[in-house]
Structures are given as structure tokens and as C-alpha cells.
Amino acid sequence: MIKKLGTHIYFGYMNFWKIFLLLAFVTAFFNGINAVPYYNISMHQIFININETGNATVTEKFVLNFTSQKQLDNFKVKKDELGVSLDSWASFDPKIKIHIGTKKDILPLSGSIAFVENENKYLQMEYALQEPIVSKKVETSRSVDYELKKNYFNSFLEKPFYKIPANTEIYFMLPSKSTAEKKDISPDATLGSDESYFIIKWEGLKEISNLSLKYTYWKEIAPSVSISLAFKNFMDNVSQEIKIILAVILIAILGGFYVKRKQINEKVQTFVESNSALE
């Protein structure tokens, strides 16, 4: 009798934990698919704008696909509920999060998120990092060599590999006076430039054990000053009246020099003649 009672209690205890674990799993599962009724993410783009000193601002774009107008309308209602809090969005959908650095790396009050509707519909997240995203390795009077700090990409670390998922693009927007070589970048990258930036692009799917990026920023060289060119530019931009006044002043100055020179010559001549007479 006692043995049966003990067995019954034991199995009852086990059933309780099974039910508890099942409920926990179901809760976590539904939290993970919280955003599924609203959209799916078809593309994730990250733009890292790095200035001359290595500080960075980040823009992340999550391109959203909606299967119907009703799905889009429901999402807009949910968007208004979530507001502009990055934490609220990350709780709603774990994929809508900061991917460069962590929350503690963000400059206070710099984080924002907005829904943009044009040809594509996307969420745009923006934030600035408190510390430089690159470290200064070598500096000369002409250039600075920088290297990427890998810890800012820990969100892509699936030990022992860094993994850039499919449909993910990462753009490093460097100052236009920057250069880099492919051998100093891992994983393989596409290099390009426009009038404003030197651009390095990583595109998923990429999986690699070592993440690295090095580049050189070339400093501005102070332009040489040409007096004749400056005078020409000045004369090209003044009125005719000013030019006449300047010409009169120049003639007066030259005339004064001529008179003064004549007086000096006369004094020298008188001095020479006087000394010749004494001899």
C-alpha cells in the first residue's frame, strides 16, 4: 500500500514537470513566431558609415514582404503600438535587433527605427556607436592605417565561425580618400567607390573562421598658395570702378617711388662731387 502510494506520487511529480516544460516550450515557440502573421524579411542591409577618425553611424534596413493588404494594415497597427523603442521591436521580433555591437555600445539617444513605404517596404534602424569601430595601427604625416574591431560583429559569431546569413549585405562606407586591398579583407569582399565614399561590401552567405578588414585613409594635403593666381582671381571678381581706383593708387605709389629715387640720386651725386672737390 505504501509502495503504490509512493509510485503514484513520483509519477505525478514527473507529469507535472512534463506539463511545465511543454508550456514553456509552447510559450517560447509562439514568442519566436510573433512577427510571422505580419511579414517575412526578404533582405537585410547594413550600412556602416565610418568617418576619418574611425567613428561610425549604422543604418540597418529590413526589407519586408507582405502577402496581402490586410497583413500590411495589421502590421501598421502593430507598428504604432511598438513605437520607436528598439527594445520593443527586438522583443516583438528577435531578428529586428542591433547587429553591430550591442546596446551598451550605442551612443545614448542615437537609436531610432521607422517604417518606410516606397517601392520597397522596409524598417530602417539607425544608431551611432560610442567608440571607434576601427583601431588605429600606423599613422604618418600622410596616412592612417585602420583595422576593424571584430568584437562589433559578435552577433554573426556562431563558434567557431563568423556567419553572414543569406540575403544579408554589409556595406562599409569609408571616406573617399581611402584605399584597401582584397588580401587584407576576410571574407571576400567587393570593392568600389563613388564621389563620396570608398565602399567595401560583404554579401551572404559567407562562413569563415577569421573576420578581418584593413584599410588606409589618406590625409588631406594643404594646397600651395599662389600669389599671382590669388591676385588674378581677385581682379576677375571686382568691378571696373575698383580696378580704376586700384590703377590710380598703383600709379601714385610708383610715382612716389620715382620721385624718391630721383631725390636720393641727387643727394648721392652732390655727396660725390663734394668729396671730389676736397681731394
Q: Which long-range contacts (CB under 8 A, 24 or more apart) does 70-78 make?
A: 71/37, 71/38, 71/39, 72/121, 74/37, 74/38, 75/38, 75/39, 76/115, 78/38
Residue 238: the pLDDT is 66
Read off the pLDDT of residues 264-275 as tens digits, 9 standing for 90 and up: 566 556 644 565
Say if residue 43 is exposed, middle or buried (CB neighbours under 10 Å; 0-12, 13-18, 19+).
middle
Task: Find the range with the poorest average confidence among 17-31, 32-46, 263-277.
Answer: 17-31
**Closest CA relative to residue 133, chosen from 220, 46, 230:** 46
pLDDT of residue 229 exceeding 70, the answer is no
Mean pLDDT of 58-76: 96
Residue 33: the pLDDT is 44
pLDDT grade for 3, boundaries at 50, 70 and 90: very low
pTM for this prediction: 0.69
Residue 265: the pLDDT is 60
The span from the CA of 128 to the CA of 126, in Å, is: 7
Instruction: Count the residues in the chain.
Output: 279
pLDDT grade for 239, boundaries at 50, 70 and 90: confident
**Closest CA relative to residue 85, chosen from 31, 123, 29:** 123
Mean pLDDT of 224-241: 65
Residue 240: the pLDDT is 77
**Average pLDDT along the chain:** 83
227 torsion bin: left (phi>0), alpha (psi -120 to 50), beta (else):
alpha
CA angle 100, 106, 107 (to 5 degrees): 145
Beta bridge partners of 168: 44
Beta strand 178-179 pairing with 134-139: unpaired
Residue 269: the pLDDT is 60
| Percent with pLDDT over 90 in the chain | 64
